Structure 1
Amino acid sequence: MNVHDKAYELAKAIKESSEYREMKESRTTIDGDASSKSLLEDFRKRQNELQQKMAVGEMPPQEELEQIQKLYEVLSLNPRINQLFEAERRLSIILEDVQRIIAEPLESMLK
């Protein structure tokens, strides 16, 4: 068995999953709606800036965290964006499960 071949099979299975397809379709729908696309891009930009700060150990002010949470809640009221958020959440769960499963052999060696 070739591990790389299995990894490519896994990548293909993920791309063929309903979760991936739903996320891709949601993204295409949003890309076709200029206002939804603009709102989402602004949110992603702010979200990335926040994550970059946290990655270097800088804790953003509580006010900034609350602003991004409120923006998320407002965006969730947009049916197209909410559908994307839900699709991303479902795919994220699958990817976390896959990562956990892949890590199992290493965890047993570290014990």
Structure 2
Amino acid sequence: MTVNVYDQANALESALRSSEEFNTMKDLYGKVNGNEESKALFDEFRTVQLELQQKQMQGEEIGEEDVMKAQQTAAEIEKDENIRSLMEAEQKMSQLIQDLNRVIMKPIEELYGENS
């Protein structure tokens, strides 16, 4: 019997959408977007993050001003309960995805481990 890996991947996607971690994140994201101050601060934070990522990808130097802006935005975010809760939920979701990635990569790691 041949296993269709893509069917399994789609089942995993469905399971993730149904997971407590994802639904908690979804609820908290709704709270951030439902609060004007939280949403504005969150949008600013994401803009700063994207700008820094673009500079890194383009090989541009990240200056002291950029670092200061990022630190200031991060400090403001820490004060916002809605965003702080969302970021904690994101960390839990990220950990879940890392755990799943370890499981997915196990056959390849074992394969190369056998030949060492």
Same fold by TM (over 0.5)?
yes
Of residues 32-41 and 94-103 in structure 1, the stretch that sits farther from structure 2 once superposed is: 94-103
Give runs of aligned pairs for residues 23-102 of structure 1, distance below 5 A: 23-102=25-104
Counterpart AA for 1:74: E
Q: Normalising by structure 1, report the TM-score.
A: 0.87
The alpha-carbon deviation at position 108 of structure 1 amounts to 3.7
Structure 2: distance between partners of 1:29 and 1:37: 9
The alpha-carbon deviation at position 100 of structure 1 amounts to 2.4
Tell me the equivalent position of 1:13.
Answer: 15
Tell me the equivalent position of 1:106.
Answer: 108
Q: Which has the larger radius of gyration?
A: 2
Q: Normalising by structure 2, report the TM-score.
A: 0.84
Tell me the equivalent position of 2:4.
Answer: 2
The alpha-carbon deviation at position 38 of structure 1 amounts to 0.9
Aligned with 1:57: secondary structure?
coil
Q: 1:7 to 1:30 in 2, by over 3 A?
A: same
Structure 1: distance between partners of 2:102 and 2:62: 29
Kindly report structure 1 stretches of 4+ aligned residues shifted beyond 6 Å. none
The alpha-carbon deviation at position 101 of structure 1 amounts to 2.0
Structure 2, gaps ≥5 residues long: none
Of structures 1 and 2, the one scoring higher in RCO (CA 8 A, sep 6+) is 1
The alignment's C-alpha RMSD in Å is 1.7
Cα deviation 1:40-89 (Å, max 9, x = unaligned): 00110110111121123334124422431331122121111111111111
The alpha-carbon deviation at position 110 of structure 1 amounts to 4.4
Identity %: 33
